[in-house]
Amino acid sequence: MADRVRRAKQRLDAHVRETVAWHFDPATGCPFWLDVASRLDWDPRETIQSYEDLDRFKFFEDEWLRGGPVRQWVPKGLADKPVFVFETGGSTGIPKSRINCEDFRIDYELFSETLSDEAFPKGADWLMLGPSGPRRLRLAVEHLCQHRGGICFCVDLDPRWVTRLIKTGRMELMHEYKDHVVNQGLTILRAHENIRCLFTTPKLLEAICERVSLVKAGIKGVFCGGTQLTAQFHRFAREELLEGKIDFVPTYGNTLMGLACHKPFDPSDNYSVIYYPPSPRASIEVVDPDEPARVVEYGELGRVRLTTLTREFFMPRFLERDEAIRHPPCEAYPWDGAGDVRPFSGFAVPIVEGVY
Amino acid sequence: MLHLPILRFGQSYESIDKAEIVHHATGEVVALVSQANSGLIVRDLHRTADDVLERFSVVELFALCQRAAELFANANLPCGDSQQSFDDYIRLLSATTGMPVSYCRNNAEKVRRVLAEIDLVVRGLTRGFDLSILDRGYGENAGSMLSYFRAGRRFGVVLPSNSPGVHSLWIPAIALKAPVALKPGREEPWTPLRVIEALSAAGVPREAFGFYPTDHAGSGELLRNVDRGMVFGDTNTTRPWVNDPRIEVHGPGFSKIVLGDDTAEDWEKYLDVIEASIAANGGRSCINASGVWTPRHGWEIAEALAERFAKIEALPAEDPQASVAAFANPRVAEAISVSIDAGLHVEGAIDVTRSRRGTDRLVRRGRLAWLLPTVVRCDDREHPLVNREFLFPFASIVECPTAKMPEAIGPSLVVSAITGDRALQTALMNSPNVDRLNLGPIPTMRIAWDQPHEGNLFELLYRQRAFQTEPAA
């Protein structure tokens, strides 16, 4: 294991050098980072030789992603590619925008390799019942399904509307909207026999399972994400909602970082949901909230710090609005993981987390 | 470590998610309480048999409740994975709520009495018709055909931590054949659990009980997924349910003592009743008076009450003389005190107790926090400290012409009107503001079982239907 960890770290360092070289090369980098580099008294391409060296940059601020010009983020090296823009955090004010060309497809193709063919059969159709609109998730899940040879049925869910209903205390309307979404999903499920796989959020999964047995509906695997997943929910989902017969794959991801995989189910984890980032394309670290340059010890709680390292997007040291427990490398993923992710408790005002 | 599981209609369930409840004075963890995720509650509510108590007659259920009363007060009963004596129960109840031990015993006695006198309580709720009608579904009563059906198939209660006496309000549901799903107050799982265990030991099927410690979201799902429910809590907790006819809301009571023109001069005679109404049970109930309305002598009444209250000290919960509760969460006490001070900054109100006592109402000793009884004299009935209610003995004293009182007092759970003035009595009787009216010097805290107030559990759970029958040919 030690050897695998060492090799993974070498691969990460090499990837860091490659990514920094791309983003800070005037021929390939994006205007934003080239502008940053022009104001530094050091050259990132020379100074940044390892993952740790990324500490030389200031913490990435999500404010930089709010508002335009969005083209400042398009690397010159990708100028001829079609550009998508995906948004996150748009419940209040200006959402954060991230440009994408191929990243979402690459992320989900890599993720596909972690899925079992038994639970997510090749050629099976999917139902995507979750956040859509300007989010990456709908296209990404659809691509995942297509990559595995299936066709993806999609039902819209507007999480910004849900958040607004919750914030204004209109819970009945929120439940009515949830029912509206679930009803559409159930109609699709009943009408299309080849649907074997489902992507949905925890709350929608509960609501669907109140109405139908997914086992009887022929579902083999459920891919679940979009909001916080507690260990207790994880257990409840496996044991009761999915009747112990359907594979349950929890995920943690966002538009900025990509998609993390969960550690393969191990009863000794007592249902803790432990995520591992898609290294070397991204990392999830757990840091001291008061001293965010310092990674906490294994088993300790801290704030989630993300780093994204792709040709499309360079985001060093971004402090996420989540907290988690740091976990050591595991067999499947020889680098650090983060478990029991939940909204960061250090904010003065509680975040209205998606109840979708 | 003592662990309290979720009860899923008969089955114990240990959650991965557990909350610690601590000793109010030492901060030491007293128990771990399994927390239910909201989906689990919803799932259970839709899957449990709602007719589990229908095989018993109401009279048989009375007998089981009466046996449970005895067990509640005397037996060793299961408490999570251990056995609990009555004294253990009182000790734990005081430890996590901060309530004086003597008050815990008084409240436990109230709970025991409801079980022991369940027939009286239910007859109070049903106003005396032949209860076998509930067993058969219909029957003749006083020459009329009556038929009822239970609309409350699934009954859920979101309980508070402030005073164990409130459990007297849901217990009759069992005698009325409704299975219950209880969400206990965070610091007070003890009483509902002991009542459940006493009833189970007496022979009520365990399938009739759900016990779901949970968070705010879980409480909401519980109430959303029952046919009938009760919620206790402050205005913020209860607001979403105020207009929901399925849910009986037990929010702040804003209970009051009212003096008339005929009695205001003799106010001193009624000081004991006023004092007890404000301060009994640590001032924690919605039936504690939080206002005294009088046409005259407001200042003297406030001064006299303050003189009495100034003698009350912050004492440890075990002290037999303790009469105010320490706060399980000291920050709550601080927040309440700050809120009162903010009100006092608005001109026209004086904290009479503070000047009399010479010290602040908030007492901090280590981890402990108390709020000492507080009387505020308000010059104006529109002052922001009028019609406020807090989790300790607090009252505002207001002068108001008696002709204006019935409307001006606002919604009031209990009004004890100390007056012989027929006009005032009649106006109060006609006022929709008054939920329970006591005429005469009766403490607001005094409850008569046959006089249900703040809703009627029977009327919540059952509906009358028109009914005719004729033997088949």
Helix A137-147 to helix A103-112 angle (10° resolution) is 50
Distance separating alpha carbons of residues B78 and B54, to the nearest angstrom? 26
**Chain A contact set for B16 (CB, 8 A):** 230-232, 235, 270-271
Note the pLDDT of residue A350: 43
**Are B39 and A271 in contact (CB < 8 Å)?**
no
Chain B residues with beta carbon closer than 8 angstroms to that of A235: 16
Provide the pLDDT for residue A228.
79
Q: Would you call B43 and A235 a contact, using CB atoms and an 8 Å cutoff?
A: no
Residue A351 has pLDDT above 60, yes or no: no
Given this model, what pLDDT does residue B281 score?
A: 85
pLDDT of residue A354: 39
Place of tokens 């006819």: B245
Q: What is the pLDDT of residues A246-300, one digit of tens each?
A: 999 998 888 888 889 889 988 899 999 999 999 999 999 999 999 999 999 999 9
Distance CA A145, CA A199 (A): 10
Instruction: Give the number of A-B residue pairs with CB atoms closer than 8 Å.
Output: 37
| pLDDT given for residue A347 in this prediction | 62
**Distance between terminal CA atoms of chain B?**
67
A263: closest CA of chain B, how far (Å):
18
Query: In this complex, do B16 and A235 lie within 8 Å of one another by their Cβ atoms?
Result: yes
ipTM above 0.90, yes or no: no
Interface of chain A toward chain B, CB-CB under 8 angstroms: 169, 171, 175, 202, 206, 209-210, 230-233, 235-236, 240-241, 270-271, 355
The answer to whether the CB atoms of A232 and B17 lie below 8 A apart is yes
pLDDT at A93: 79
A308 pLDDT above the threshold of 90: yes
Q: pTM value?
A: 0.90
pLDDT tens-digit map of A109-162? 999 999 999 999 999 999 999 988 888 888 999 999 999 999 999 999 998 899
Residue A107 has pLDDT above 70, yes or no: yes
Q: If chain B, 473 residues long, is cut into consecutive pieces of 10 residues, what is the mean pLDDT of each piece? A: 94 96 94 97 94 97 98 96 96 94 93 95 90 94 92 95 85 96 96 97 97 95 96 86 92 92 95 94 88 95 94 90 89 92 93 91 92 94 92 94 93 94 94 92 83 80 92 78
Tell me which residue has tokens 């009863």.
A267
Mean pLDDT of A315-338: 94
3-state secondary structure A236-276: HHHHHHCCCCCEEEECEEECCCEEEEECCCCHHHCCCCEEE
Q: Do B42 and A206 touch (CB under 8 A)?
A: yes
User: Beta strand B434-439 with B374-378: parallel, antiparallel or unpaired?
Assistant: unpaired
pLDDT band at A55 (very low <50, low <70, confident <90, very high): very high
CB nearest B16 (choices: A206, A210, A271): A271
Distance from the B332 Cα atom to the nearest Cα atom in chain A, whole angstroms: 17
Across the interface, whether the CB atoms of A355 and B217 are under 8 A apart is answered yes
Given a contact cutoff of 8 angstroms between Cβ atoms, the answer to whether A196 and A222 are in contact is no
Whole-angstrom CA distances from B9 to A18, A41, A91, A216, B211 are: 59, 68, 39, 26, 8
CB contact under 8 Å between B16 and A355, yes or no, is no
pLDDT band at residue A91 under the 50/70/90 scheme: low
> To probe the interface with A, which of B33, B37, B47 has the most A CB atoms within 10 Å?
B37
Which residues face B415 on adjacent strands? B256, B437
Residues B149 and B164: their CA atoms lie apart, in Å, by 30
- Please, what is the angle between helix A171-191 and helix A202-211, to 10°? 60
User: Which pLDDT score is estimated for A154?
Assistant: 96
Residues of A in contact with B17 (CB under 8 A): 230-232
Cα(B116)–Cα(B63) distance, integer angstroms: 9
